[in-house]
Structure 1
Amino acid sequence: MSATAEATIVVDGVSKWFSGVVAVSDVSLVVEPGVTALLGPNGAGKTTLLRAIGGLTQPSQGRVTVFGETVRRNPGVYRRIGYMPEHESVYDFLTGRGFVELAARLQKVEDLDGAVRRAIETVDLVEHQNRRLGGYSRGMRQRMRLAATLVHDPPLLVLDEPLSGTDPAQRLHLRDVIRALAAEGRTILVSSHILEEVDELADRIHLMVSGKLAASGDYRAIRQKLDDRPFHVRVDCADPRALAAGLVGLEAVESVEIAGTVGLRVMSRDVSSLQRSLPAVARELGVRLTRVEPLDDSLESVFEYLATGSGR
């Protein structure tokens, strides 16, 4: 772990256990301005780590600092954090505006009306602000919860599964809101198991598996580190059997499997070399290629590999 002058969050050797059960085990990481994702399956320790970062729980071991200060029992730091828990924490009898206003009062916001208006405008719920939360969809509730989280204009947002329960359009909107907030200079730490959105949303990813930090970086950098597992490439062509026979001898090819009547599934440790060699082999054999598509160039493949423990 290497902290920098710009680091907003520094987690140093943090462990947390409950009655002998280890939820987080010796995790060290740095979070800087921009959007950082904490990714992992349920039970990976993400929420426990976020609670430690937000000052809601004391680590059993190690230290968390936010803005260079110890966060636990530090009201000055608390006021600079917007924390949105995973589980819904709303009062159904309140209107959306009333809920955001309550959060603003708790944070002792001076320009209450202006802050509430700006927060609700940010999540694009102005026309629904006077409806009761009990009549909101799950996605609308998430958006209004985000408005309440940012109403005091905190420089750090800690969002636990903010995309949970939202439909595709709502996820896209929330993603755009989060990116816009980060563009203003904020630090945003997002927990998620929705792999595709993390890929598109975050500048940097920390992968947690079984309470431990499995890898850090952008997803392509992480994938490049996993050189002990081949990439999968889908190849569609006019004569898959002939092409398979031609590809088997290539140094870049680990294995070839026929998939359907027009497809091949090629395993390669060097996709760049494969992409250079493939057209030449096809041309030599007189086989017309119709599609070449890497199947592993996504966060999902990396995550699944690490989650099984194979990447350790």
Structure 2
Amino acid sequence: MSVLQLENVSRWYGNVVAVNGVSMNIGPGVTGLLGPNGAGKSTLIHMMGGFLAPSSGTATLDGEPLWQNPEIYRKLGLVPERETAYDFLTGEQFILAMAKLHKLPDPNAAAKRAIAAVEMEYAQDRTIGNYSKGMKQRIKMASALVHDPPVLLLDEPFNGMDPRQRLQLMDLIRQMAAEGRTILFSSHILEEVERLASQIEVIVAGRHAASGDFREIRRLMTDRPHLFLVRSTDDRKLAAAIIADGSAGSVQLTDKGLKIEATDFQRFTWLLPQVARDSKVRLFEVSPADESLESVFSYLVAK
């Protein structure tokens, strides 16, 4: 049972702070590293993978430093977000080369098992340069699995995959987690994390914004103020009724409709159609005005 540990880890490039004072423990099971693009997820994974030195703080695997410690690669498999395979090699040649680099006792058998695990036997004799994005993701996964590591770091592993490939990889990750492996995968897509991760770590602008299971993170996101744009047949009448109820923090009348900040999300979403019906106002549009991951996570950071 392997544990990755970050203690007050920061990483900066000149005056740019990519990761700022992050502490977390990643244990057995599936942990989702969730955050918008540019939040610092890849930088964290590179430090956990021993490819990047923390500017301050410590990053360890089972108590051993990750930086400048080649022995940790016996325990660790990495699927980076960027393309890292050699396009002129076939899938089988690439995985076999990885098995030989790890000095496995039977590299051919190990390569065969890894390719089968990601269901790429049908394409193993084709050159990687002719693979689709999803196929390249799967062959990278095979390269991370070839030495059967107890720890896996997966950086946006589902990018470019079609629905069938996503389901197959999700099933594989669940299976490996059930075997007791420690798996961390990054994503900016809530649905991927919800379906896979038992523990979620939220990163925003290089900072650790929240931690917990999906219900806790969902509650934090749902309980925040929500901004809606509403258009109707009588915006003024609707605004008066909403203000009278008190479920909205503010209501602004604009040339595009009503801008409503709902402080009680559940009550507001239940109340709005009731108020519209009672006031004999027809709703044309009800749309969230702040549902980007950046705005959601920024609220978590500010808490």
Give the TM interval when normalised to the shorter protein. Answer: 0.7 to 0.9
Whether 1:268 and 2:262 are equivalent positions in the alignment is yes
Distance 1:80 1:195, change over 3 A: same
Q: Quote how far apart the aligned CAs of 1:236 are.
A: 12
Shift of 1:272: 4.6
Cα distance change of structure 1 residues 244 and 61 upon mapping to structure 2, 3 Å threshold? same
Equivalenced residues, count: 303
Which residue is equivalent to 1:304?
Answer: 295
Contact 1:223 1:302 in 2 (8 A): no
Shift of 1:235: 10
Find the residue that maps to 2:160 and give its secondary structure: coil
1:187 to 182, 186, 202: 182
Pairs within 5 Å for 1:235-246: 246=241
SS at match of 1:24: strand
Are 1:31 and 2:26 an aligned pair?
A: yes
Match of 2:65 in 1: 70
Contact 1:109 1:152 in 2 (8 A): yes
Q: Deviations over 1:96-119 (max 9, x none)?
A: 111111111111222323322221
Which has the larger displacement, 170-179 or 143-152? 170-179
Partner of 2:92: 97
> 2 CA distance for matches of 1:105 and 1:271?
56
Q: Contact 1:219–1:302 (CA<8 Å) still a contact in 2?
A: no
Go from structure 1 to structure 2 and tell me whether the alpha carbon gap of 1:237 and 1:176 turns closer, same or farther (over 3 Å shift): farther
Matched with 1:107 is 102
Contact 2:210–2:300 (Cα < 8 Å) also in 1:
no
Alignment-derived partner of residue 212 in structure 1: 207
Alignment of 1:44-193 (within 5 A): 44-193=39-188
Aligned 8 A contact 2:36 2:294 in 1:
no
Indicate the RMSD between aligned Cα atoms, in angstroms.
3.8
Give the distance between the partners of 1:65 and 1:214, measured in 2 at CA: 21
Q: Determine the structure 2 residue equivalent to 1:261.
A: none
- Match of 1:22, SS state, is strand
Residue segments in structure 1 that go unaligned for 5+ positions in a row: 1-5, 259-263
Mapped to 1, the partners of 2:232 and 2:213 lie a distance apart of 33
Give the distance between the partners of 1:59 and 1:80, measured in 2 at CA. Answer: 20
* Counterparts of 1:217 and 1:192, CA distance in 2: 16
Deviation of residue 130 (structure 1)? 1.4
CA 1:212–1:139: 2 relative to 1, 3 Å? same
